[in-house]
Amino acid sequence: MRFSKALKLILTTVMLVFFTAVMAVTAFAADVTDVTSSAGLEKALRNEARYIRVTKSFTVDRTFYVTGKTTIYSDKAVLLTRSPEFSGDIFVVGENSQGESALLGGSQATLTLGKKSPKKGSMLTINGNKDNMKVKVKGSVAFVTNSSVVNVYSNITVMNAYKSGNERAFNKRYLLSAADRVGGAVFINASGSINIYGGSFKNNSVNKEYINSKDASKSVYTSSRGGVIYNYSNVNIFGGTFENNKAANGGVIYSLYTVEISKGSFISNKATTSGGVIYQGSLSNAALCIGKKGDEKGSSVVFKGNTAAKDGGAIYESTRGNVVIFGRTSFSENKASDNGGAIA
């Protein structure tokens, strides 16, 4: 059989692409570290493993420090459950165990949960175990700082995270002036950011408590802010479902800086004060952008059935400005007792 020069070129190109793909998959497989326990995950991160595959469910009993670029994923349904005796952050991104910034070592820390092209369904679930805790939880699922980045993809579920304290209260490094319970699942400090491309965040919360004292100077109102995310930098949401999350202010997000939402569903979230989904804080440079400019068909961002005991069943904007909403955004069945069933 005789082939034309054009056909030979096509066959050669196809074979080259095939072998390149095989080599890439082989290299990826060789770079994957499998873990089955908290100790194994801690070791893999300490060794700066690039890809970490969780192959077995286990209990989380320690904090994992991410100072390099790491992807954690699973190819089957596994569950990481907070130990009833563990109260700290599960992931600290951008800082080592001594509190030293990853930037000092020349690295911008990046934690990616899940993969861009996942199998259907949730493969990796992080369970905050709030109904079985024996200690007060003072840490989030992820604390993000020092210009670090967290990426979340569609095969990830974060659920039942409950925060009743704050590990970094009164520490001026973290820009908290009071013992606020902030970020039930994610606490983003100055210059950190999170990109959410999908996944599910459900039943996460932070509590609200007043600590009274005979000495008035020692009385502390510990308000809860952001059932899922407390944002002091940047939040970008490109997809995902946020359901049944709760806080005093911002059932899903309490933000002092930038939040951009181009796609996602926010369903049955609750604020016991204001902002059933989002509470936009009072800083002058805070900004909230929802939807996509020029994209006018269908509904890509959905706010449904969210409630606030006071103002803003879906969104509360404390500065009365810097909120932009484009097409493909819908509000339905949101309620507030005082002002703004959808937006206040």
The model's pTM: 0.86
Nearest to 112 by CA among 128, 140, 91: 91
Please state, in angstroms and rounded to a whole number, the distance separating the CA atoms of residues 93 and 109: 6
Token digits of residue 68: 């390099």
Q: Name, in order, each residue with C-beta under 8 angstroms of 50's C-beta and a sequence gap of 6 or more.
A: 31, 68, 69, 70, 71
Transcribe 134-172 into DSSP letters.
Answer: SS-----SEEE-TT-EEEE-TTEEEE--EESS-TTTT-G
- Whether the pLDDT of residue 211 is over 60: the answer is no
- Whether the pLDDT of residue 320 is over 70: the answer is no
Do the beta carbons of residue 234 and residue 188 sit within 8 Å?
Answer: yes
Nearest to 266 by CA among 258, 276, 257, 274: 276
Give residue-wise pLDDT tens across range 245-279.
Answer: 999 999 999 998 899 999 999 999 999 999 999 99
Do the beta carbons of residue 71 and residue 53 sit within 8 Å?
Answer: no
Three-state DSSP class for residue 187: strand
Please state, in angstroms and rounded to a whole number, the distance separating the CA atoms of residues 251 and 8: 61
Average pLDDT, the chain: 86
Exposure on the CB side of residue 91, measured as CA atoms within 13 A: 31
Confidence label for 75 from pLDDT (cuts 50, 70 and 90): very high
Token digits of residue 183: 């970020």
Please state, in angstroms and rounded to a whole number, the distance separating the CA atoms of residues 316 and 158: 24
Exposure on the CB side of residue 28, measured as CA atoms within 13 A: 9
Do the beta carbons of residue 259 and residue 253 sit within 8 Å?
Answer: yes
Alpha-carbon dihedral angle through residues 270, 273, 275, 276, given to the nearest 10 degrees: 10
Exposure on the CB side of residue 296, measured as CA atoms within 13 A: 1
Do the beta carbons of residue 248 and residue 225 sit within 8 Å?
Answer: yes
Q: What confidence score (pLDDT) does residue 161 get?
A: 96
| Residues 153-165, mean pLDDT to the nearest whole number | 93
Please state, in angstroms and rounded to a whole number, the distance separating the CA atoms of residues 69 and 78: 22
Token digits of residue 217: 């100077």
- Whether the pLDDT of residue 13 is over 80: the answer is no
